[in-house]
Amino acid sequence: MRSLIEKAEKTHTLTKEEIVSILKDDKYNEELFKAADRVREKYVENEVHLRGLIEFSNICKQNCLYCGLRRDNKNIERYRLTPEQIINFAKNAHNLGYKTVVLQSGEDDFFNVERMIKIIKSIKEFDLAITLSIGEKTREEYEAYKKAGADRYLLRIETTDEELYKKLHPGMSHKNRKRCLTDLKELGYEVGTGCIIGLPEQTIESIADDILFFKKIDADMIGVGPFIPNPDTPLKNEKGGTFELTLKVVAIIRLLMPDINIPATTAMETLNPNGRMIALRCGANVVMPNVTEGEYRKLYALYPGKICVADTPAHCFSCITARINSSGRVVSKSFGYRKKKV
Ligand code: SAH
Ligand code: SF4
């Protein structure tokens, strides 16, 4: 096992079988985490990039089985910010010191191309990088957003297991999800993807496939989070993912894709009160604090136990900055694009 970790640290390659054996054996986790931390320091150094997350609509036309925003969930109070509110939250994020905002929502057709272009163009005036995370769109829509000034796009593949994907995403197709990722890459976006760890029926082998898929498509950012069963969804009685397995996946991703951006995800902190700081020591180099203001944070309930729902953007910014600084890392002042080194 030690020689496998060494190989990954040196060559940034592992076979599927090798990934599976690392994931299945917990005796060498500390070695794995330390190796990932060394590779993180060597390739992306000590800077942590903060991305301010604006959750602008919890209205969704999709019905993903695990997600609290799914359209059949009648137990959630729906909201949608106005374009003016979104632009204002972005401006406030810029004033706090953010260099990037992430605009995330359910798949809400109110935000058509015309409205999104207006929002993107207005936010670009604040000298912010923009990441969109608004689901599956046509190539033409992606192109229009890129032209308007969007820089990055987050669209998790969720799982590369096609059968499982089908069961979890009624009316959606794995083929279209992959088409989206290809289009985004071709259009010049920095592409973020990722998966959920611990979905019902998900195997360790399929998680290894996920990791190799991320490498194959040369993703620029990979976000992984544990599955957290939501009581308002059909998966409410399923077992969730574990913090430890998610952390191991983060570490292996860092070993195999040394120069990409890897967030310490919010869902990890839901399972462990220090989850993001731990992830930052095991390969991660990005945090996405919430910059949504007011009651909306609470209503954007993908999963239960979401952190910081009662906090303000200013509080979250200073809290995470202090924690990053006290861990010996620094908050980056740059836009934090991927610098390709391999
Ligand atoms: N609608 C967009 C963006 C919002 S959902 C999209 O689907 O791409 C953002 C992410 O939340 C999803 O990609 C999914 O991985 C995650 N998510 C949703 N429900 C979850 C749950 N119960 N546990 C863990 N992650 C979840
Ligand atoms: Fe909608 Fe995204 Fe949730 Fe699926 S994961 S139901 S697309 S918000």
DSSP letters, 75-99, are SS---B--HHHHHHHHHHHHHHT-S
Has this prediction a pTM greater than 0.95? Answer: yes
**Which residue has its alpha carbon closest to ligand 2 atom 2?**
106
Angle between helices 139-148 and 174-186 (to 10 degrees): 30
Mean pLDDT of the chain: 98
Judge whether 99 and 334 are in contact, CB under 8 Å: yes
Q: What is the pLDDT of residues 42-77, one digit of tens each?
A: 999 999 999 999 999 999 999 999 999 999 999 999
End-to-end CA distance of the chain: 25
Cβ of 133 closer than 6 Å to ligand 1, yes or no, is yes
What pLDDT, in 10s, does the model give residues 228-285? 999 999 999 999 999 999 999 999 999 999 999 999 999 999 999 999 999 999 999 9
Distance between CA atoms of residues 278 and 285, nearest Å: 11
Read off the pLDDT of each residue in 120-144 and give the average, rounded to a whole number.
98
Q: Starting at the earlier edge strand, list the strands of the sheet with 286-287.
A: 286-287, 47-50, 330-331
Q: How deeply is 342 buried, as exposed, middle or buried, from its count of CB atoms within 10 A (0-12, 13-18, 19+)? A: exposed
Interatomic CA distance for residues 225 and 86, integer angstroms: 26
Residue 233 is encoded by which pair of tokens?
């969804």
253, 22 Cβ separation under 8 angstroms: no
Domain ranges of the chain: 2-330
Q: What is the Å distance from ligand 2's center to 178 Cα?
A: 16
Q: 44 C-alpha vs ligand 1 centroid, how far in Å?
A: 26
Ligand 2: does its nearest atom lie under 6 Å from the Cβ of 60?
A: yes
60 CA closest ligand 1 atom index = 1
Q: Assess contact for 249 and 211: CB atoms under 8 A.
A: yes
Whether ligand 1 lies within 6 angstroms of the CB of 135 is answered as: yes
Query: Does residue 158 line the site of ligand 1, with CB under 6 A?
Result: yes
Confidence tier at 198 by pLDDT (50, 70, 90): very high
Give the C-alpha separation, 130 to 126, whole Å: 10
Specify the ligand 2 atom closest to the Cα of 169: 4
The two structure tokens encoding residue 88: 């204002």
Residue ranges of the alpha helices (H) in the chain?
2-11, 16-24, 29-44, 83-96, 113-124, 139-148, 162-168, 174-186, 204-216, 243-256, 266-271, 275-280, 296-299, 313-326
Work out which ligand 1 atom sits closest to the CA atom of 136. 8
Q: What is the DSSP letter of 290?
A: B
Q: What is the pLDDT of residue 93?
A: 98
- Token pair of 41 as six digits: 């320091």
Closest atom of ligand 2 to 71 CA is 6
- The dihedrals phi and psi of 102, each to the nearest 5 degrees, come to -110, 120
Q: What is the pLDDT of residue 342?
A: 83
Tell me, which fold does domain 2-330 have in CATH? TIM Barrel (3.20.20)
User: Which of 157, 189, 196 gets mutated to test ligand 1 (max ligand atoms within 8 A of its CB)?
Assistant: 196
What is the helix (H) or strand (E) element at residue 66, kind and residue range?
none
Q: What is the whole-number distance in angstroms between the Cα of residue 156 and the centre of ligand 2?
A: 11
pLDDT at 70: 98
Cβ atoms of residues 241 and 226 within 8 Å:
yes
* Å from CA of 326 to ligand 2 middle: 35
Nearest CA to ligand 2 atom 8: 106
Q: Is the CB of 228 under 6 A from ligand 1?
A: yes
